[in-house]
Chains A and B, each alone.
Chain A
């Protein structure tokens, strides 16, 4: 291209090169702006359209029948909490366990297989997880349930937690392990109370990211938790979830439900941004601790 041009014409080429340089810089800045505009637009619309419908009734009542004004998503908020509890109980221990295996024992062929499988699991479309859990649990139970929704989300948490745990454990210097062994501490105790503890900030970060990722998931809940217009606190009954309600309300023809969908979405995003922000704070502290 331009670098093989003879020096006699270098004045013109230099102009061309400067132009492409400016053009590329301009494009990169434009790209950054274009990417950030939807983000801002989404947040602005969420706040503008959502804030008006958030009131005490919205946070404490169950949905009114279609067409009636009023009601809320209280059962959805509680349902999401319930499902996420089940998901965390399943996803966090299995994820951390697999992460420990990969970091402390998995430096071999079998570890590579697990590592690859975790990546595969991470890439499985959430709707496919939904189908699997449906045919594993819902078909057998013969009805939709909060538990099956939690299992679906828990499965989706495992790979994220596992990879985060593995990476964080690998960053713990070997000296610390050696010191523990030198004091006669058994390996399991070293791993749990010393290695994992040293890496805890990073591991918590991974768990929170996984949590934030599944908190807004809707697709796998469609035919596991299913949704519910009423209160439900039982694990083996169909349960409302915030994300499901936002979906149902958004595609409904009722104007009042549209407003409530925005409000529900705002609550959902606050939950998730809260988790991500907490991650930032924890990581910042973790860095200080590590330094």
Chain B
């Protein structure tokens, strides 16, 4: 069988159950308990089965293997289709595509700069708002919350992740944008207008609205991972710091956050990945104008929104190809960001989830 272990010199005792991992609705699982169910007894029993009963076993193994390979095949298909469909634009524009400013379907001239700018600015704005909030919520839930409230609050934060992005968008258009236009933006313009980030006409819809909506959407992602890595910090670490006379905040800062910081950074990057790829809510509130403006009040456009808005109307191969190339760029960026995040989170929780191995 595939998971061969030396049956002679590893008389393993029955392993303790891996620690249950709390789930995050929209994210799948943060990490799997990586302790394999190895058993020498299993190995021996399997060998003692008559060979006639192995044929159905082999068939089953192949079916299961096939479904696992399908996951791999899908990712390969995604990459292949993206590269294949964007070939035209890749050849035509080369690297210029990524810093060109004009997006002109009539003359078949495409540059993705305004979209890249919009995606980056809205995502970083979202991180700026979401990171302190998520870490605050996670600290509150794990360290300060009364026992009875803990489950309720973490359930509510998880619920935030279950709301579809189109509903965030709807709420953003009809509730958040008027609120921003009538109250928040005049206030920001008056107090911080001199920085240049908060000036110009106030529509409500625009970069600021997109950043705020994205922030609300990624809080549950960052918060649940932060919670996860914070609860991976051993309890006696907390007790030790408290025993030295630290206040609760000092205990959290020195005993918990300092140990969990790599995992928290991982969670933040995972949130970034989510924000970069988010489509509907942003499309609905960002204003959809391909321009690079310093002011956060100005409308913008993101990579995902331009695909959402123009893909089904794109006439002409070059137009379509340029849109797919944006998709390819988005895919590569989120791939890198997610891989980095997983590595960081695993380095924390993966280490503590199997202390006995």
A interface residues with partner B (beta carbon < 8 Å)? 2-3, 17-18, 20-21, 23-25, 27-32, 34-36, 38-39, 41-42, 45-46, 49, 93-94, 96-98, 100-108, 111, 113-132, 134-136, 155, 158-160, 162-164, 166-167, 170-175, 177-178, 181-182, 184, 186-188, 191, 205-206, 209, 212-213, 215-219, 222-223, 226, 243, 246-247, 250-251, 258, 261-262, 265, 268-269, 272-273, 276, 280
Contacts and interface: CB of A to CB of B under 8 A. Distances in A.
Contacts of A178: 39, 41-42, 45
Contacts of A108: 2-3
A107 B311 CA distance: 41
B27 to A, nearest CB: 7
Nearest to B27: A122
A212 B133 contact: no
Contacts of A39: 156, 159-160, 163
Contact of A35 (B3, B41, B223, B338): B223
A128 B155 CA distance: 30
Given A21-B248, A128-B331, A218 B175 contact: no
A102 B331 CA distance: 25
| Chain B at the A interface: SS class | helix
A269 B163 CA distance: 7
Interface string B313-357: 000000000011001001100110111001000000000000000
B94 interface: no
Contact of A21 (B69, B140, B247): B247
B166 interface: yes
Contact of A123 (B37, B165, B338): B338
12 contacts: A21-B248, A24-B248, A29-B144, A41-B175, A106-B68, A125-B330, A126-B279, A127-B277, A163-B29, A181-B46, A272-B162, A273-B162
Interface string B293-310: 000000000001001100
B71 A265 contact: no
Contacts of A113: 72
Contacts of A36: 153, 156-157
A219 B280 contact: yes
Contacts of B171: 41-42, 45-46
B20 interface: yes
B23 A121 contact: no
Interface of B: 2-3, 14-15, 17-18, 20-21, 23, 25-29, 32-33, 35-39, 41-42, 45-46, 49, 53-54, 56-57, 59-61, 63-72, 74-75, 77-78, 81-82, 84-85, 132-137, 139-141, 143-145, 153, 155-160, 162-171, 173-175, 216, 219, 223, 244, 246-250, 252-253, 273, 276-280, 284, 304, 307-308, 311-312, 323-324, 327, 330-331, 334-335, 337-339, 342
Contact of A174 (B37, B66, B137, B140): B37
A45 to B, nearest CB: 6
Q: Which 8 residue pairs of A and B lie closest in terms of their CB atoms, listed nearest first?
A: A216-B164, A31-B136, A125-B277, A97-B67, A188-B60, A123-B338, A101-B68, A24-B249
A119 B17 contact: no
B195 to A, nearest CB: 23
Contacts of B25: 209, 212-213, 276
Given A172-B37, A177-B42, A222-B312, 13 more contacts: A3-B246, A36-B156, A94-B71, A96-B67, A101-B68, A123-B338, A127-B277, A131-B82, A134-B311, A167-B33, A174-B15, A247-B280, A258-B174
B331 A125 contact: yes
Given A178-B42, A219-B304, A276 B162 contact: yes
A125 B23 contact: no
A77 B312 CA distance: 23
B315 to A, nearest CB: 14
B140 A28 contact: yes
A73 B19 CA distance: 45
A258 B323 CA distance: 29
Contacts of B273: 123
A117 B78 CA distance: 12
Contact of B78 (A45, A107, A132, A219): A132
Contacts of A172: 37
A24 B252 contact: yes
A4 B135 CA distance: 27
A170 B153 CA distance: 28
Contacts of A105: 2-3, 61, 64-65
A219 to B, nearest CB: 4
Given A128-B327, A131-B85, A135-B81, A167 B250 contact: no
Nearest to A41: B175
A107 to B, nearest CB: 4
A225 to B, nearest CB: 11
B357 to A, nearest CB: 12
B166 A35 contact: no
A243 B164 contact: yes
Nearest to A223: B312
A222 B21 CA distance: 35
Contacts of B164: 215-218, 243, 268-269, 272
Nearest to A46: B167
B171 to A, nearest CB: 5
B71 A162 contact: yes
Given A25-B144, A45-B171, A258-B174, A171 B17 contact: yes
Nearest to B25: A209
Contacts of B38: 107
Contacts of A280: 155
